[in-house]
Amino acid sequence: MGYLILAAVGLVAAYLAIWLLVAGFLLFYLPGLVVAVPATVGLGVLLAVVTAVRAVVAGGPVITPEMVADGKAGLPELRGNNPFGRDRAWPSYLVAQGRTDLRRVWTETVKAVRRGWKWISDFFDNKDFAWVPGLLLACPLWLGVSVGALAGGAAIVLAGGLVLFAIWVPWALLAGFLRGGDQLVRRLRGASPASCPHCHHVSPLPVFRCAGCGQTHRDIRPGRLGGVWRRCDCGRRLPTTVLRMALRTTPECPRCGKSMRAGTAALTEIRVPVFGPVSAGKTRLVYAGIMALRDALAATGGRLDFVDDESELAFENGSAIITGGTDTVKTPAGEVPGALTVRLTTGRRRALLHLFDAAGEIYVDREENSGLEFLDHAQGMVFVVDPFSVPWVRDQLGEDVGLIARANPASEDPERVYHVTAQRLREYRVDTRKRRLAVTVVKADLLAGLPLASDLSPARCKEWLNQAGLDNLVLAAERDFGEVRYFVTASVSGIPAGDARSPGNPLGWLAGLTSAPVPGVPDGEKETV
């Protein structure tokens, strides 16, 4: 009987407990959750905002110039085979650091949510039956916070991404415009590619050094390392276009690392090799030609000056020889000379004229002339013909040993030198049809008054060369080159500017090709010696 009473009491108690549970669940717990969970979602959004602000203010991992140089900045691979990689400079915020910051906002939000779950797990796991309030209260509430935080974090990242994209679009357009404009202006101006006067390499992208730390910047153009300005590793601000940078600092050759001439990559560049046999008078023509150009420019209000000490010193020595009427020193064979550079200025226009004068021996040696890289990138060439080396002239001079000794004739046949050089240009796939050639008969001062030169003038120079037996040379030159002009010059001082024999005429004609500011060179067709 007692058992029956006990069982009845137990049943009543169980019924009561179940009733209390169901009533509590439906009357208090569920309605409470219906109100509390949306509120926790709002708290989650607040958590995401606070986390994002903290992440942005505190700043996270920074994409440094070291990472850029090491290829660890997450920037795309450089196109082409570039052994040097990217320059050591701060990348634009929009292309690297912005992405990193947004990623950090997201990861910090996720971390905050995870920390909450971990705390709940640790706190309620350590006590008996503690999982019940954990499961019934903490989990649903933190679930609301998590949903709010993740949704808020995603919205913040999306909004931040849109903001950065909105800034990036005009930035990219401006950088692209600057990059294209820089390239276009340099090409139109004839400033690209830039010439190295030492190793004769030409490069569309010269190297610049930071004036602050000396760090090299191999590609200064607008891009991921800066749209309008670039920030060097040392913190110094550098302009991004080659033109702007070249006006501030002298570029360096990307191949040999030596300094190019001041103004290189910003001013028009004209590369003119002067070639011919040994003792033809190439060096004399170069110095006398520069003197004549200087006088001609001065007469028209322009100016010829030097941008490097090396060229200036060489010219001072050379002009002293020309003025003194003495012989020039033999150009050393076996070494490829550096360029002799002059800056031509007329009004606001400026140009650099690089003259290359290698020893005659190098031109006739097939192996040695392969090193004459300046031939490949010349806009025009001067071929020096020594009339006293032409057998027809020598035959007519006969016994005039004194004159021949004074002329110190070239030892090589001009035709052979021309053909070996032309062959070298062909082998190196130089499109000579796009180049101009100034065939220059020098030593006209020594020919003056001789019957054999009575009809030698720039206008009749071609016929004179044909008559002198150099018809094959004339034929080959006109076949090989896009335009050939003939000059007769006397590499001596005292020839007035504008004279038909002026040694500045061939240089002036070739310099004028690339819109260099050279005053009117007399038309060879009209003048006579």
Partner 1 sequence: MKRSVPPAYVAHRTVLLAVLLVLFAAAGYGLSQAIPELWQGMSSAAQTVRNWWTEMGWHLF
Residue 206: CB partners within 8 Å, gap ≥ 6?
Answer: 194, 242, 246, 251, 252, 253, 254, 260, 264, 265
- Nearer to partner 1 by C-beta: 218 or 231? 231
Side by side, which strands form the sheet with 340-346? 303-305, 340-346, 349-356, 268-275, 380-385, 436-441, 483-488
- Min. distance of Cβ 274 from partner 1 in angstroms? 49
- Nearer to partner 1 by C-beta: 89 or 246? 89
Contact between 56 and partner 1 by CB under 8 A: the answer reads yes
Residue 171: CB partners within 8 Å, gap ≥ 6?
Answer: 92, 94, 227
Stretch that binds partner 1, among 152-160, 314-322, 506-514, 516-524 (CB under 8 A): 152-160
- Min. distance of Cβ 75 from partner 1 in angstroms? 16
Question: 27, 130, 173, 298: which one contacts partner 1 (CB under 8 A)?
Answer: 27
- Nearer to partner 1 by C-beta: 90 or 142? 90
Contact between 22 and partner 1 by CB under 8 A: the answer reads yes
Q: Does an H or E element contain 417, and which?
A: helix 414-427
Separation of alpha carbons 117 and 136, rounded Å: 14
Q: Name the token pair of 323.
A: 């003025």
Separation of alpha carbons 395 and 508, rounded Å: 33
Q: Which residue has the tokens 């003792």?
A: 279
- CA 430, 275, 425: angle at the middle one, nearest 5? 15
Kindly state the number of chain residues that form the binding site for partner 1, as judged by CB under 8 A: 37
- Nearer to partner 1 by C-beta: 220 or 267? 220
Q: Within positions 201 to 260, which residues make up the interface with partner 1, using CB under 8 A? A: 231, 235
The residue type found at 383 is F
- Nearer to partner 1 by C-beta: 227 or 414? 227
Stretch that binds partner 1, among 94-102, 195-203, 257-265, 455-463 (CB under 8 A): 94-102
Q: How far is CA 21 from the centre of its chain?
A: 80
Contact between 21 and partner 1 by CB under 8 A: the answer reads no
Contact between 159 and partner 1 by CB under 8 A: the answer reads yes
Question: One symbol per residue from 33 to 52: x for binding partner 1 (CB under 8 A), - otherwise; what is it?
Answer: -xx--x---x--x---x--x
Helix ranges, 59-138 (H): 65-69, 98-125, 131-133
Contact between 10 and partner 1 by CB under 8 A: the answer reads no
* List of residues contacting partner 1 (CB under 8 A): 16, 19, 22-23, 26-27, 30-32, 34-35, 38, 42, 45, 49, 52-53, 56-57, 59, 62, 64, 90, 92-94, 97-98, 101, 156, 159-160, 163-164, 167, 231, 235
